[in-house]
A = this chain, B = another copy of it.
Amino acid sequence: MNLSHPHSSGTIVRCRRLLEPALREVVSGLHPWGARMVAFAMGWAGLDGREQDADGGKGLRPAITMLSAEAVGGTAEDALPAAVAVELVHAFSLAHDDIIDRDELRRHRATLWKAYGVGPALLTGDALLALAVSRLAARPEAMPYLSAALIELVQGQTADMAFENRPWSGPDVVTIEEYAEMAAGKTGGLLGAAAATGVALGGAPELADRMWTMGRDLGVAFQIVDDVLGIWGDPRLTGKPVHNDLRRDKKTLPVLAALASGGPAARELAAVLATGAADEESVRRAAHLVEEAGGREKARALADRYLDSALGVLDECLPEATELRDVCHSLVDRVS
């Protein structure tokens, strides 16, 4: 992920240096076969099991956890169990989502199921989740937030999947409100847990509920940006093929906003999408129409609104937390 925010990359690297040894230690307790698949999923190893330094994600969620702990006067180490748990849950969700969405490419490499098969990848996801839960099992001040994030994650993912069978026009069209609820669950829950567990383990559990809300808003902004990158992002930077969402009838925000605009471009878009938009030409035409109908602009505006709402909570609760604020900002100001 390329971070365009100028202040945050040093912070992220510092957090990542703390996180990785802790993550590796947790994983080392797994069955050797399971550990090998986890190492591949994390970007630590290639298919042959040899060490490599692939792009395994920058660890933004655990950085939020550690910085949240620091922002309330604790240390990053205080929050390390939660930071590890949050990163493990993230890896779990990628492993399973790629199976569900039949995605074959992530971060410029084969996805876990594509590399090892559906059964082993499914089981590896379960292992990651089990390890995550074990980190906080005896921490009742933090565990409920991780648990709530798990529920939100599956609820959001289920809603997203159910959206695929909804029409592009008419009374059953997916509304922006339904989208926001789905995104708050699918993407926001874990960001909420990242921030809430951080302040809880950092010594300010009384702030955890507000940080949970902050993270959920941040998640909606993050998901909208993800949708935008899925249509107009550069695959060389994102590591994923472009236009996949359009091909799969995914109800992404730019498309929903374009359809809701109601002009001639919106009507043509609905017609193109209704035919299935399987061939390259109609996919490209659909992307063009989304932009013409104002979907891209509206998506950006809505992402900014949710970001502002999240930053507003931060400014109120933790006005001195500039590092945390920068990282949250960089989640939405990104190109990959």
Contact = CB atoms under 8 A, between A and B. Distances in A.
Contacts of A96: 122-123, 126
Copies of this chain in its oligomeric complex: 2
A143 interface: yes
A220 interface: no
A322 to B, nearest CB: 32
Interface in A85-110: 96, 99-102
Contacts of A154: 34, 123, 126-127, 130
Dominant secondary structure at the A interface: helix
B122 A122 contact: yes
Interface residues of A, number: 40
A30 B134 CA distance: 24
Contacts of A123: 96, 100, 154, 157-158, 161
Given A122-B122, A134-B150, 20 more contacts: A30-B155, A31-B155, A33-B158, A33-B161, A96-B126, A99-B119, A100-B122, A118-B118, A126-B150, A126-B153, A126-B157, A127-B154, A127-B158, A130-B150, A130-B151, A130-B154, A133-B133, A137-B148, A138-B140, A143-B143
Interface of A: 30-31, 33-34, 96, 99-102, 118-120, 122-123, 126-127, 129-131, 133-134, 137-140, 143-144, 146-148, 150-151, 153-155, 157-159, 161-162
